[in-house]
Structure 1
Amino acid sequence: MGARFTGDLAELRYEPVAKRVRAVASGRTFADSRRAVLVWEPKRVVPSYAFALSDVRATPIPSDDALAAENPVQLAEGGPPVLDPRTAFAVHTCPGRPQTLAVDGVTLPGAGFRPDDPDLGEHVILDFSAFDEWLEEAEPIVDHPRDPFSRIDIRRSDSRVQVEVDGVVVAGSAAPRLLFETGITPRYYLPREDVRMDLLTPSDTRTTCAYKGHATYWSVGGHRDLAWSYDEPLSDARDIAGYIAFLTERVDVVLDGERLPRPITPWS
């Protein structure tokens, strides 16, 4: 099944959703619908929301293409190239036309895209980052829409996990929590009391995950942003609140006495 999904990354894909979805900017609701569609442009690994034109409270106006660079990466060694999710919305990988949206004096240049596709021809895809707030029903969502074919599972474990940085043991625990996310290498979250916090230096980096929430980071031994934590995670990730994970692509992990190979991912 994983190979099937990976094989489809080169195609334009879409999936209807039953949730009520709203997009808000500067206090104005630009779109409100119970028939929104999740759309993955070719090579995109996270979806965007598209709305029927009748559910968009602005008349989309065709605009010029914006200059933006593709940022291709591989999800796994030997896998097909995909676009890093941080690649700007202005990068489009299917035929269509960028759109400017305006409601009550608030103008969002290039915040929409109308694909040239017979099934989506009466829809406009919206740039998640162009809006201040997104709601599924009455629940805010962050970073990007969640993929219905992707999920996270968190499991308490009694395996022994040891983390080394440049040969120095910085953490070791027999009570980790393992996070399994579709298409991503497993992550080992360790209780803070089992981490050498004296070896970690707080970083000013902050990131957001649609499934887990807002993360804070630490640098270790001169390696920037090597560890992170979700202090107030979203509901699906509450079991890792306050736990610390390390970037297994750039540290050494010993699991139950076996040294694991470093995975090859976009974060290597």
Structure 2
Amino acid sequence: MAVDLGAHLASVRDQLRVVPTPRRVRAARGGTPVLDSTDVLVVWEPRRVVAQYAVPESDMLVPLVPTVLPPPPVDLPPVLLPSHPFGWHLSPGQALAVRVDGETFDAAFRPDDPDLGGRVVVDWAPFDWTEEDQSVTGHPHDPFHRIDTVRSDRHVVVRVGDTVLADSRRPVALLETSLPLRWYLPREDVATEHLVPSDSRTVCAYKGWATYHSLPPELGGVADVAWSYDEPLRDASEVPGFLCFDDSKVTVES
């Protein structure tokens, strides 16, 4: 019987999952080195969809101090996102505080699982990270995650009610592992007069920083219906400034 790999990976999400990476990984805080390691595991804690790095304690360049964190809430969502606190640990282990230049962060965790060899998982958010000599943002790069951009001649139309927000026959399809197909459209094919800038910004480790647009009150005032990567990273280099619409908020026909 064939195995659906997507379903299989989702079926083990409640477990502690690890894979070695050959990358040299470093982290710093305000210019102060925090860790430097070539003996790194990519680690997904139970229910987490985004990984963290785990390194030997000997590769930490600042003190670690055992600490006690409150247990995670009993009504946890089935999937934990980067926005959920790092301190919600669902596998046995020791929470650790990281001390950097007089500041203390509850930003490390040593799982009891022997397969981690005593490595500590380090929270991404408080620090600046590099893989080899390249700065990275958002979260560690997932070795099982891929992005493809494919130019297409499909006819993509975006509507809200009777109003056409975009009409393009030269979209770019962005296919990202485990995520829906997204259509990125040249600005010339978008009725930008129907959009207003939003203050929202998000970051993707593969695509970069996204800026958002909303609908004006006369079209429902829906927030953040479209986004763009104006200075994209390499994986989104085919869609600089292109607009992509959230098909849960507007109708996208293709």
TM normalised by structure 1 equals: 0.88
Measured on the aligned residues, the alpha-carbon RMSD in Å equals 1.6
Counterpart CA distance in 2 for 1:70 and 1:84 is: 16
Q: Deviations over 1:141-191 (max 9, x none)?
A: 111001100111110000000001133110010000010111111111000
> Residue 25 and residue 164 in structure 1: after superposition, are their counterparts in 2 closer, same or farther (change >3 A)?
same
Aligned to 2:130: 135
1:187 has 2:191 as partner: no
Aligned to 2:50: 46
* Contact preservation (8 Å) 1:70, 1:87: no
* Contact preservation (8 Å) 1:22, 1:136: yes
> Residue 252 and residue 155 in structure 1: after superposition, are their counterparts in 2 closer, same or farther (change >3 A)?
same
1:247 has 2:246 as partner: yes
Q: Where does structure 2 lack aligned partners over 5 or more consecutive residues?
A: none
Deviation (angstroms), 1:58: 2.5
Counterpart CA distance in 1 for 2:137 and 2:119 is: 22
* Contact preservation (8 Å) 2:112, 2:118: no
1:90 has 2:87 as partner: yes
Q: Identical aligned pairs, as a percentage?
A: 44
Aligned residue type for 2:241: G
Aligned to 2:205: 210
Aligned to 2:156: 161
- More strand by percentage: 1
* Contact preservation (8 Å) 2:138, 2:205: yes
Aligned to 1:146: 141
TM normalised by structure 2 equals: 0.92
Counterpart CA distance in 1 for 2:202 and 2:95 is: 27
> Residue 114 and residue 33 in structure 1: after superposition, are their counterparts in 2 closer, same or farther (change >3 A)?
same
Counterpart CA distance in 1 for 2:26 and 2:75 is: 29
Secondary structure class of the residue paired with 1:54: helix
Aligned to 1:236: 235
1:177 corresponds to which of 172, 179, 184:
172
Q: Number of paired residues?
A: 246
Aligned residue type for 2:54: A
Aligned residue type for 1:114: R
Q: Where does structure 1 lack aligned partners over 5 or more consecutive residues?
A: 74-80, 256-268
Counterpart CA distance in 2 for 1:163 and 1:51 is: 46
